[in-house]
Amino acid sequence: MSCNDDDYRFLCSAEDAWGIVLETLAAAGVVFTSALLLALLIMVPRICVNAKRAIVPIQFIFLLGTLGIFGLTFAFIIKLNRETCLTRFFLFGVLFAVCFSCLLIHAIKLVRIVRGGLGMSWWLMLVTITALSLVQIIIAILYVALYLARNMSECDFSKADKNARDLDFVLILIYVLLLMAITFLVSMISICGSCKYWKRHCVHIYVTIFFSIGIWVTWIVMLLRGNKSLDKSNQWDDPVRAIALVANGWVFLIFYMVPELCLMTRHQPGCDQGKNQSQPHLLRQIVGADNQVFTQEDSSQGRFYYVKWT
């Protein structure tokens, strides 16, 4: 890679500072997300609530998806070519589908928990997330394999109808928009439960989706209408999508993942249910298997009771 190469000019060109700013924020996001992944793994043995421990695999996948979102930013800073074109069309929707599927499943589980239930098991949540993400993967494969692979010139500014390509980019993300809408509604429903403690987790998802919707509406409007009306389509289209990636990635971390990690090892005050509680794995002690024994003995000196607790 060389700054003299026109494809990589925005990565190090002082004249176009947006590229340097965004790659800095994206790189910081990669480092911070990696640190949260490590922190999540370290916290697992200290989690004493079954409902929280069950969501750990989901949040691990969520962080991996967020890590991919920050990495994908570089594909929009690098100038559009045949390599970045396929990456953009395929990974943009898939990565967001993974993240929003994780938020949706977490919200569905919370709908039951805030009403005193247990919700979905961890393996069922993993299967559901895989199925939801697979839909967007199939959509992206069909578009990339059946359309772009046969019409690679569509990725070339000089040979393609740019308006049609931008519209295609948004159309293959309709399923992701549907996931966002459903997650927003489910998170609103989950807030209506009776357990105040678990509502804090519901609020994390609600706020995250609220800001995500705002980001998506903004970049889609700018891509399809705003940039063209300002006659800045060629200059602003890539920065708009790159900004959306970085902004949404940081929204995922700040409004969802960081607060979740802060509450991960805390004991909930109220709404305690035996089926939701357990000792941390590393703190469990092996105890006798005997039940409580109560024996009574008579003696010439009086009575005494012997009680054995296990």
Q: How far apart are CA 102 and CA 117, in angstroms?
A: 20
**Number of other CB atoms surrounding residue 233 within 10 Å:** 18
Q: Let me know if domain 6-266 sits in CATH 1.10.10.10.
A: no
User: What does the pLDDT read at residue 275?
Assistant: 40
Q: How far apart are CA 101 and CA 135, in angstroms?
A: 11
Residue written as token pair 């570089």: 74
Q: How far apart are CA 264 and CA 14, in angstroms?
A: 43
Domain ranges in the chain are 6-266
Total H helices, total E strands in the chain? 11, 2
What does the block give as tokens for 63? 């962080």
What does the block give as tokens for 204? 């994390």
pLDDT < 50 positions in the chain: 158-159, 273-310
CA count, 13 A, side-chain hemisphere, 200: 14
User: What does the pLDDT read at residue 156?
Assistant: 59
Name the 3-class secondary structure at 45: helix
Q: How far apart are CA 254 and CA 206, in angstroms?
A: 13
User: What does the pLDDT read at residue 149?
Assistant: 64
Percent of the chain with pLDDT over 70: 77
User: What does the pLDDT read at residue 269?
Assistant: 57
User: What does the pLDDT read at residue 279?
Assistant: 46
**Number of other CB atoms surrounding residue 291 within 10 Å:** 8
Residue 153 DSSP label: G
